[in-house]
Structures are given as C-alpha cells and as structure tokens.
Amino acid sequence: MPALLRNVRVTLEMIKIEHTLFALPFALLGAVLAANGLPTIRQAFWITIAMIGARSTAMAFNRIADRDYDAQNPRTQTRAIPAGLLSVSFVWLFTFVSAALFLLAAAMLNRLTLLLAPIALASVMLYSYSKRWTLLSHVFLGWCLSIAPTGAWIAVRGHLDSPVPLLLSLIVLLWTAGFDVLYACQDYEFDLRAGLHSIPKRFGISRSLLIARLFHVGAFAAILALYWITQLGIFALVGVIVTAALLVYQHRLVRADDLSKLNAAFFTTNAFVSVILFVTFGGAVLLRTLS
C-alpha cells in the first residue's frame, strides 16, 4: 500500500493535477451560463469529476507517448518516467482509471454528454501525437481544452441551443493556443533537433511571440463578443478589462531574447485569467438572477 500511494502521489505531481485550474473555471462558467444561475450540486460535482478525469487521462497519456522525447530533452529529463520514478505500466493503469472516471461522470450527467464523451477522450489523447505531424499542435491543444465549456453547457441543458457556449469555447481555444505557443518557445532548439513540429520551430521565436499575441487578440475579441451577447452588465465588464490587462502583462513578461519569466507568464497569469472570467461573468449571472 505505501508503494501504491507513493506512485499515485508521483503521478499526480507528474501530470501537475493542480493545473486543472486552467480549464475547470471555464467548464463551471459554462454550467452557470447554461443554468442561468447555479447548476445543481449533482451537476457541478460530476462536471468537476469529468474535468479531473479527462485532464488526468490526457496528461498521463501524454507522458507515456512522449517518454522517449522527454528522455532526450534536458528540460524534461527529470519527469517521472524517464527518471525511472514510475513504470510505464503503472502510468497506463492510471490512464485507464482516469478515462473510466471521465466516462462514468459523463454517464451520470445525461445521454448526450455520454454519447459525445468518446470524441472528447479521443481528442485529448490524440493531441499527444500532434507535434509529430503538424505545427498547429497548439491549436489542437486549444480544441481539447475548449471542449470543456460547451460540454458543461450540454451537461446542464442536455442539448446545444445557444451560441454562448461556442463563444466561450472559442475564447478557450484561442487563449490556450496563444499561451502554448509561448510555452513552446523554450523547446525551440530541441524541436529542431528532434524533428518535431511547432510554430516556434517554423517561424522562429520573435515571430512566434507575435503569433501568440494575435491568438490572444482573437481571444479578447471573442470575450467582447461574449460580453455583448450575454449583456451581463458592469460586473462582467470588470472581468473583460482585467483579463485584457493580464494578457498584456503576460506578453510584456516574455521577450525573444529573455524567456526567463516564461513560467510566470504561463502558469500564474493563465490561472488568473480563467478564475477572473469565472468570478466576474459567473457572478454577473447570479446578480442578474437575484435582481
């Protein structure tokens, strides 16, 4: 039992379970918008479980698929599998359990959620191979995360009957693609040697920083569209303004000749973006229902 607990702990550290925070607020915001208020406790619980299961599946499978590349890349050589801290068979077991948890959560929500669950599961697993054949792997990752808010909307309503969740998913797609381009800049040299595809490899770091900015300009335009279509008032507008400031701040942290602040831009700032939009837009929905 101590060995099992140790392996689970190391696996959770390896997949950075705490970074579920990036996408979970968007899923919960999709649920709040769908319910036009608070979803039921049951819905919120199973949506959260679905998010944890899907992300854990995706990250664990990614570590399996990339284990040979991770062993060659100085930045990732200390990850659990190449460092010998975990066996591939144990991570496979963790992946299967996480996928089963995701499918269980989908089944507990409604029929359409369950029917669409295999598409989401296939997407998050196929992403691990996308850098082998396309420089648009960043957009593929955005697609994987963007499933969450529309999936949560369907989990609450049982159908897709509004452009609102699609706009929210578009925000997530463009936002994710932008910060993933930034993150990929640190692997520029390795991608060249390993023959992997990425926007930084194709266009260089300077142009990639510009492309990341363009992705985030698109994400901000989608946020404005969401604000306009939902008409949620001043509280949501605060979220729009603060998000714009955070996106600008993120890009000011990273320069082509200085990537030392990349982790602050990637981890801290992005976590704030998702939480701020959830609090402000979600709070605006609740204020409207109480008025």
The pLDDT tens digits of the residues spanning 238-278 come to 999 999 998 988 888 877 777 777 666 666 677 788 899 99
Question: For the stretch 198-219, what's the b/e string if a residue is b when 16 or more beta carbons lie within 10 angstroms of its beta carbon?
Answer: bbbbeeebeebbebbbebbebb
- Tell me the C-alpha distance between 211 and 217, whole Å: 10
Q: What is the CATH number of the domain that holds 275?
A: 1.10.357.140
pLDDT at 232: 94
Three-class secondary structure of residue 255 per DSSP: strand
User: pTM of this prediction?
Assistant: 0.93
Residue 59 structural domain: 2-290
The pLDDT tens digits of the residues spanning 142-193 come to 999 999 999 999 999 999 999 999 999 999 999 999 989 988 998 889 999 9
Which amino acid belongs to residue 75? R
Name the domain count of the chain: 1
